[in-house]
Amino acid sequence: MIEKLETQPKPTEGRRERKRRQTRERIQEAAISLFLERGFDGTTIEDITEAADVSKRSFFDYFPSKEEVVAAWQDSFADELVEAVAARPAGEPITKVIEEALISSVVSGAADPQNLALGQLIRQTPALRARDQLKYTKLERRLTEALWERVGEGEAERFRMGLLAAVVIAAMRAAGERWQEEPSVPLDAFARDIFQELWSILADFGQKSPR
């Protein structure tokens, strides 16, 4: 399988775009800080706008709701994963690309205490927990596109990468739930064991003859 790696020049960020990005980041940072301090339900949009020094109208220009602030934070992991996939060496086996990119992204995220605290807040807040499942759908789609960019064109190849991404993200979801029960286990070693188990299971299924 030949990989297609093309470097696209990043568009230059203009002054207006930079100001919008900085405002959005300020609102998000203020909101997350308040969520962790007061709880999600205990934080109002007025609290966030006051802390971020923006108007309520400005808040809604960037985020339709409080829930979308958390969703945007979750999307940042997908951005990191896509970048990690693109950064892997050309010619590396696609399973190795996935394993190394996902592990590096997860370990990097878990190194930030705020990320861990926000993850716990999501699990403890019904409104956020119900929406939390959407992140896996987004993550699967983003991973599919990132992998497809590496391996070449064609809808057949996109479909194959979609199947692989679906399996990997499902495994990641199950592994995350297991790790919550064993948080004392080093995350890097835990993730590598999960991947070893996943590839072994897939190989076993592939060798079994249909009845």
163 and 73, same domain (yes or no): yes
Does residue 2 form part of some domain? no
Residue 71 contacts residue 122 (beta carbons within 8 Å) = no
Query: What is the distance between the alpha carbons of residues 193 and 189, in angstroms, rounded to a whole number?
Result: 6
Same domain, 37 and 77: no
What is the domain extent for residue 87? Answer: 66-207
What six digits make up the tokens of 52? 């971020």
Measure CA 190 to chain center: 18
CA 158 from centre of chain: 20
Regarding whether 55 and 129 lie in a shared domain, the answer is no
Class of residue 138 by CB neighbours under 10 A (exposed 0-12, middle 13-18, buried 19+): middle
Residue 134 within any structural domain of the chain? yes
Q: Tens of pLDDT along 10-26?
A: 567 788 888 998 999 99
Residue 7: what pLDDT? 46
Q: Are 39 and 128 within one domain?
A: no
Residues 47 and 24 reside in one and the same domain: yes
Q: Tens digit of pLDDT for each residue in 169-190?
A: 999 988 888 887 776 678 888 8
> 70 and 172: one domain?
yes
Check residue 91 and give left, alpha or beta (phi > 0: left; psi -120 to 50: alpha): left
Put simply, whether the predicted model's pTM sits higher than 0.85 gets the answer no
Q: Are residues 138 and 163 in the same domain?
A: yes
User: Within a domain: residue 4?
Assistant: no
- The answer as to whether 54 is a domain residue is yes
- Residue 19 sits in a domain whose CATH number is 1.10.10.60
142, two tokens: 């983003």
> Cα–Cα distance between 130 and 152 in angstroms, integer?
36
User: pLDDT tens per residue, the chain (211 residues)?
Assistant: 444 545 455 567 788 888 998 999 999 999 999 999 999 999 999 999 999 999 999 999 999 999 999 998 888 889 999 999 999 998 899 999 999 999 999 998 888 888 889 988 998 899 888 778 888 899 999 999 999 998 877 888 999 999 999 999 999 988 888 887 776 678 888 899 999 999 998 888 777 555 5
If asked whether residues 24 and 71 sit together in one domain, one would say no
Report how far Cα 192 is from the mean position of its chain's Cα atoms. Answer: 18
